[in-house]
Amino acid sequence: MPNQRAAPVFLNLFRIHFPVGAVTSIAHRISGVLMFLSFPLLIYLLDLSLQGPAGFDRALDYLHTGWLRAASVIIAWSLFHHLFSGIRNLLIDIDCGVSLQQARRSAWLANIAGLAMTLAWLWWIL
């Protein structure tokens, strides 16, 4: 094929430089999928917590185990990142902050705010 365009040959993820908006966007998807995966666990805990005082205490005991604390950090990041980048998406939908410079700034803001709230959650549960 003589007309084939010369494309960059490396597809090494560590060498491809993603623009910050791409990171925000893919993280929005990843966090959404992570929350989907956590549904059964969360509904189970809700169910348990409403099965009388004994169930409530058992749900609390579960929440204090190492595994669920670790899971809660991942869920907290997913929730906060999804919330912040989602608000960013909604604002961009109504033509708010569409210029490249503003969009980059809000992407950084969403990424950092998501991480900051995750740290706050970590501090809260430790």
Partner 1 sequence: MSRPTHGLRDWLLQRFTAVYLGCFLVYLMVSFYHQPPRDYQQWHDWITHPAMAIASAAFILALLVHGWVGMRDVVLDYVKTLHLRLLMLSLIALVFIGCGLWALQILLTGAG
Instruction: Kindly state the tokens that stand for 9.
Output: 């040959």
Distance of closest approach, residue 37 Cβ to partner 1, in angstroms: 9
Q: What is the largest CA-CA distance in the chain?
A: 74
Residue 112 interacting with partner 1 (CB under 8 A): no
Distances (CA, A) of 40 to 18, 45, 126: 33, 9, 25
83 binds partner 1 (CB under 8 A): yes
**CB atoms closer than 10 angstroms to residue 62:** 15
53 binds partner 1 (CB under 8 A): yes
CA pair distance 84, 54, nearest whole angstrom: 36
| 86 vs 104, beta carbon nearer partner 1 | 86
d(CA 55, CA 74): 24
CB of 3 to partner 1, least distance (A): 25
CB of 40 to partner 1, least distance (A): 6
> Does residue 46 belong to the site contacting partner 1 (CB under 8 A)?
yes
The residue from 18, 19, 22, 52 that contacts partner 1 (CB under 8 A) is 52
